[in-house]
Amino acid sequence: MHCKKSFLAFCLLASLGAAVPGFAGVPAEAGTAPAVLGQGNPSPLPPEGKAPQGMPPGEFNPPGQVIQGTAAAELKTNGVYTDQTYPSVGNDENALRVTGAAVNLDQVAIRKTAGTSSQTEGGDFYGMNAAFLATDGAKVTIKNSSVLSSVKNGNGLFCYGKGTSLDAENVTIDTTGDHSGGIQTTGGGITRAWNLKIHTSGNSSAAIRSDRGGGMVQVNGGTYVTEGSGSPAIYSTAAISVQDAVLQAAHSEGAVIEGKNSIRLVNCTLEGAMDGQRPLGDRTFAEENVHGVMIYQSMSGDAEQGTSSFAMEGGKLICHRGDLFYVTNTDCTLDLTGVSLENLDRKGKLLRVAGNSASRGWGKAGSNGGKAKVTAVGQKLQGDIVVDTISHLDLTLGKGTVFQGAIALEKNPSGTALGSNIAVTVEKGATWNLTGDSTVDTLVNHGKINLKGHKLTVLEK
């Protein structure tokens, strides 16, 4: 996944609609990012999770060696621990680690305030240098507690490995370093969370984060806020479901799915304000695309290839810049039911399904298009849809759906056209109001299509 920014205090009261600093008055930008900034001709931005040398791209590969470092305090026997403080200032060191034991933690304070990380992958994949780590089949419950981390690779609560589970309730998590997510799940672990308050300010620091090997994450209630670049509210290489939560990213897309993984949201507010450029060391690079939700395959080895799944029911999705949805280099299903969709960028598209430049390793240019099966039920859709010639869209407008927009086919500059790119079904009780000339390959219409003076071309009849 994806320089450190000053801490901002966030007070998120969803019921009162409180604003998040950095969201008000955001200028709209086009969906296409500007060119690379800086001197000379810097090399392309590397893939989001570059695979270790010799690892085949696009497949999950179990680690040859799990690198977790040490722990200032380690619990290996079953027990209940209350009113304890667990500090750490050591390198590659957890403040608290639970290894293979059933442990209940209540009203504890976990503090990772110093200590460098010697290896980013050890921190991202296995929990090295995290404030808290559950591993080796541990069964952990933590309630009414606080977690603070101010170091790189200092994830807040980290759950690693098959058979390991972490239940967190009424926990406040604050991280300020890069590569420091709020809750992190990898290697097949299971994380369940209720009413967490998470704030991250570093880059590559999603509030709800998973990485190599994924697992399962279930979240109910709470607020999840990020400030950094490459720090969506949710980054999924796992099966992640969230209900009744507020999810906001001040400088990143709201959510990302990589590979054969999923995000399911019910009655949530998801908000993204992705920047057009991203800092990397002393350089600044243009993003491949700007969007609210991205579904892709990085080919880094962090996620298995296959069909991604994004589903949202009820709630609200807000995009401050760029396209609302962006699909590239993967197959996906995208299901929307009764969601309030708001794109504040007048130039942004409702949906873009397209190949990419491959400058970041996301497949091969000319053959890295997206395939999206989109179903909308009881849904108001507003904005245009763009599909390029190496991609495919299967769009179903279900009962109660009104689509106000146009569908355009754009030429991919590098690849050979598929020949059949866009299939649209308008079911009974659905309406498509054209706002511009549109082209589809196939059309099944049991509902209503209003041309509004525009031309609809069906290539295959």
DSSP state of 37: B
Q: Where are the alpha helices (DSSP H) in 30-133?
A: 120-121
* pLDDT at site 63: 53
Residue 45 sits at the vertex; the CA angle it makes with 41 and 49, to the nearest 5 degrees, is: 160
| Low-confidence stretches of the chain (pLDDT beneath 70) | 1-64, 299, 301, 303, 461
pTM of the model as a whole: 0.87
pLDDT tens across 283-335, in order?
888 999 999 999 999 867 676 788 999 999 999 999 999 999 999 999 999 99
Euclidean distance between CA atoms 224 and 232, whole angstroms: 10
DSSP track, 112-123: E-S---S-HHII
Could you give the count of Cα atoms lying within 13 Å of 305 in the half-sphere of its Cβ?
14
Residue 13 CB-density burial (10 A; 0-12 exposed, 13-18 middle, 19+ buried): exposed
In this structure, the strands spanning 277-280 and 283-286 are antiparallel
Each residue's pLDDT tens digit, 91-140: 999 999 999 999 999 999 999 999 999 998 999 999 999 999 999 999 99
Give the pLDDT score at 301: 64
Query: Can you give the pLDDT at residue 280?
Result: 77
∠ CA 275-276-277, nearest 5°, is 95
Residues 290, 322: Cα–Cα separation, whole Å: 5
Contact (CB, 8 A) for 228 and 254: no
